[in-house]
């Protein structure tokens, strides 16, 4: 296989042929006419008028915790905090083999849905850092399916966990791509602030990206995003810094948010919203009216900030469902965030492709342009709107020029009168 014909590209009219050689895209050509099915060459894939995109991105997941829900106990309150307690119990029994097996199984679930770029947080509040060592091996072993970024994530705190700072430094020495944090979970406001200064300094000195679990709470007094943004601005680190969750922003009052947004724009950092996770974990201390517990996705987007959607969990102590399909997350996110307006529908895939790629700082390793990796995903429908409306799927995934996944979309067979007719 070295090209695909009869495919559509986002934001452009007509059909296109995309060619590649030695794993790199060599040409993107507009077609004057469709290539009839019987004339499609043996070394080409027929796009059949469907949308071709660069791969989906999973910008925020916890591969070390996936597929552990209920082990040893279920999270019965549905809160973030009980999730952290349940995970601490499961963490006591993890082995490297267990971590690797679950991570590889989950990566297949992601790749099955056209995801080829993944950022995983890995809990480094673990003496010995065995889980991190295992995940760094997974990063190499899974190369044929995904590019994996590993985040040093201090689940139980940097300042409020024994040797938290040393564990973070050790994780960087072991080769993580990204430095994480969890300021809202530190014991005091002061520890939260100092944890942000510590992790930003660590990332800057070692040339790593930053992705902080920031203000993942409904507490309107949780204001660590302003600290993260201000350090980002002062050190001009915007393209390298991401704030994940920021759900407290859904509880801030508008006067504070107005001021906050000025700092956010100056900092130019990215945002990740995990809509299914947050609608499940937040609002848990409310009766009615009940908060949605999500960050301000459309407002960030309209302010020109980079924001994307992520899964966060698949069957773990924080969230019991999930199957790897990021389009399910997009569907939920657009609903919960009041983003089903005409303009949003035309460009909805931005939130699970280009925006996420920008958060991961993928640069020219991403996109359908000559010279970039021949990483391409063919979808089951012909536009953003139709992919969303039909709950579409990735039907083929090409990585470095090789087809790594094909999916046959389901078909409906009608009864005798209309036998043979099909609906995608
Ligand atoms: N840990 C955390 O602090 N927050 C989450 N949403 C998950 C793990 C999944
Ligand atoms: Fe997370």
62 lines ligand 1 (CB under 6 A): yes
**CATH number for the domain harbouring residue 393:** 2.30.40.10
Give, as one character, the DSSP assignment of residue 285. Answer: T
Residue in the block written with tokens 């939260």: 192
213 lines ligand 1 (CB under 6 A): yes
- At 422 the pLDDT is 53
Mutation test residue for ligand 1: of 155, 310, 315, the one with most atoms within 8 Å of CB: 155
Read off the tokens for 397: 């995934």
Cα distance from N-terminal residue to C-terminal residue, the chain:
25
Confidence (pTM): 0.97
Q: Is residue 418 among the annotated active site residues?
A: no
Domain count, the chain: 2
CA distance 176 to 180: 10
**CATH number for the domain harbouring residue 82:** 3.20.20.140
Whether 133 and 156 map to the same domain: the answer is yes
Whether 47 and 134 map to the same domain: the answer is no
For residue 417, being part of any structural domain is answered with: no
Mutation test residue for ligand 1: of 61, 213, 279, 310, the one with most atoms within 8 Å of CB: 213
Read off the tokens for 97: 């083999």
Task: Name the residue at shortest CA distance from atom 3 of ligand 1.
Answer: 155
Domain that holds residue 35: 3-54+367-406
186 lines ligand 1 (CB under 6 A): no
- At 410 the pLDDT is 83
For residue 320, being part of any structural domain is answered with: yes
Whether 48 and 79 map to the same domain: the answer is no
Mutation test residue for ligand 1: of 318, 321, 322, the one with most atoms within 8 Å of CB: 318
Whether 145 and 103 map to the same domain: the answer is yes
Contact 150/178 with Cβ under 8 angstroms? yes
Low-confidence ranges of the chain (pLDDT < 70): 418-424
Whether 39 and 150 map to the same domain: the answer is no
58 lines ligand 1 (CB under 6 A): no
Q: 72: cis peptide before it, omega within 30°? A: yes
Which three-class secondary structure state does DSSP give residue 339? Answer: coil
For residue 282, being part of any structural domain is answered with: yes
CA distance 47 to 376: 12
Task: Name the residue at shortest CA distance from atom 7 of ligand 1.
Answer: 318
Among the bound ligands, name the one nearest to the CA of residue 155.
1
Ligand 1 midpoint to CA 80 (Å): 7
For residue 37, being part of any structural domain is answered with: yes
Ligand 1 midpoint to CA 125 (Å): 13
Q: Which of 354, 342, 245, 353 is closest to 300 using CA atoms?
A: 245
Q: Which atom of ligand 1 is nearest to the CA of 318?
A: 9
Q: What is the DSSP string of 19-85?
A: EEETTEEEEEEE-SSPPPGGGS-TTEEE-TT-EEESPEEEEEE-TTTTT-TTSS---SS--HHHHHH
- At 409 the pLDDT is 81
272 lines ligand 1 (CB under 6 A): no
For residue 421, being part of any structural domain is answered with: no
The Cβ of residue 56 has, within 10 Å, a number of other Cβ atoms equal to 28
* Helix count and strand count (H, E) for the chain: 13, 16
The Cβ of residue 197 has, within 10 Å, a number of other Cβ atoms equal to 12
- At 420 the pLDDT is 54
Q: Which atom of ligand 1 is nearest to the CA of 312?
A: 9
| CA 52 remoteness from chain centre | 19
Cβ within 8 Å of residue 329, ≥6 positions away: 274, 275, 276, 309, 310, 311, 352
For residue 132, being part of any structural domain is answered with: yes
Whether 162 and 93 map to the same domain: the answer is yes
Pairing of strands 376-379, 51-53: antiparallel
Ligand 1 midpoint to CA 293 (Å): 14
For residue 424, being part of any structural domain is answered with: no
CA distance 265 to 277: 26
Whether 99 and 122 map to the same domain: the answer is yes
Pairing of strands 270-273, 178-179: unpaired
Whether 116 and 173 map to the same domain: the answer is yes
Whether 151 and 236 map to the same domain: the answer is yes
b/e 134-149 (16+ beta carbons within 10 angstroms → b): bbbebbeebeebbbbb
Whether 30 and 61 map to the same domain: the answer is no
Q: H or E stretch including 18? A: strand 16-21
Cβ within 8 Å of residue 111, ≥6 positions away: 145, 146, 324, 397, 404, 405
Whether 178 and 313 map to the same domain: the answer is yes
Ligand 1 midpoint to CA 263 (Å): 26
80 lines ligand 1 (CB under 6 A): yes
60 lines ligand 1 (CB under 6 A): no
Contact 356/362 with Cβ under 8 angstroms? no
Cβ within 8 Å of residue 194, ≥6 positions away: 159
Q: Which atom of ligand 1 is nearest to the CA of 313?
A: 9
CA distance 242 to 300: 13
Q: Which of 386, 368, 384 is closest to 55 using CA atoms?
A: 368
- Choose the final residue of a domain: 331, 346, 363: 363
For residue 416, being part of any structural domain is answered with: no
CA distance 286 to 266: 34
82 lines ligand 1 (CB under 6 A): no
- Separation in Å, CA 338 to CA 134, 298, 331, 332, 356: 40, 8, 11, 10, 20
- At 418 the pLDDT is 60
Which three-class secondary structure state does DSSP give residue 412? Answer: coil
Read off the tokens for 64: 């070390």
Whether 129 and 43 map to the same domain: the answer is no
CA distance 372 to 272: 25
């Amino acid at each position: 296989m070295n090209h695909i014909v009869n495919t559509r590209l986002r934001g452009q009219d007509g059909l296109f042929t995309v060619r590649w050689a030695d794993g790199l895209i060599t040409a993107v050509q507009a077609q004057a006419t469709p290539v009839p099915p019987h004339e499609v060459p043996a070394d080409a894939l027929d796009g059949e008028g469907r949308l071709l995109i660069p791969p989906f991105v999973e910008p925020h997941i916890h591969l070390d915790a996936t597929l552990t829900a209920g082990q040893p106990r279920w999270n019965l309150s549905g809160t973030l905090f009980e999730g952290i307690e349940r995970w601490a119990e499961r963490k006591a029994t993890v082995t490297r083999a267990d971590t690797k097996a679950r991570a590889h199984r989950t990566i297949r679930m992601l790749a099955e849905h056209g995801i080829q770029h993944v950022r995983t947080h890995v809990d480094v509040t673990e003496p010995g850092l065995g889980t991190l060592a295992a995940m760094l091996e997974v990063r190499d072993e899974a190369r044929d399916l995904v590019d994996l970024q590993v985040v040093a994530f201090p689940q139980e705190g940097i300042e409020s966990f024994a040797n938290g700072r040393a564990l973070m430094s050790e994780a960087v020495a072991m080769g993580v791509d990204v430095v994480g944090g969890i300021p809202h979970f530190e014991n005091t406001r002061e520890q939260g602030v100092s944890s942000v200064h510590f992790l930003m300094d660590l990332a800057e000195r070692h040339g790593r990206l930053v992705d902080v679990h920031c203000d993942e709470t409904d507490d309107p007094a949780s204001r660590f995003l302003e600290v993260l943004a201000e350090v980002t601005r002062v050190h001009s680190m915007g393209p390298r810094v991401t704030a994940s969750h920021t759900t407290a922003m859904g509880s801030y009052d508008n006067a504070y948010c107005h001021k906050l947004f000025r700092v956010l724009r100056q900092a130019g950092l990215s945002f990740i919203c995990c809509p299914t996770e947050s609608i499940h974990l937040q609002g848990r201390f409310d009766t009615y009216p009940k908060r949605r517990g999500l960050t301000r996705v459309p407002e960030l987007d309209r302010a020109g900030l980079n924001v994307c959607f992520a899964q966060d969990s698949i069957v773990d102590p924080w969230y019991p469902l999930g199957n790897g399909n990021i389009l399910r997350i997009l569907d939920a996110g657009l609903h919960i965030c009041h983003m089903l307006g005409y303009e949003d529908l035309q460009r909805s895939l931005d939130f699970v492709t280009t925006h996420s790629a920008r958060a991961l700082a993928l640069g020219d390793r991403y996109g359908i342009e000559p010279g970039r990796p021949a990483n391409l995903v063919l979808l089951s429908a012909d536009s953003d709107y139709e992919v969303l409306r039909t709950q579409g799927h990735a039907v083929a995934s090409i990585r470095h020029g090789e087809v790594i996944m094909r999916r046959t979309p389901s078909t409906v067979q009608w009864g005798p009168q209309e036998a043979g007719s099909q609906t995608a």
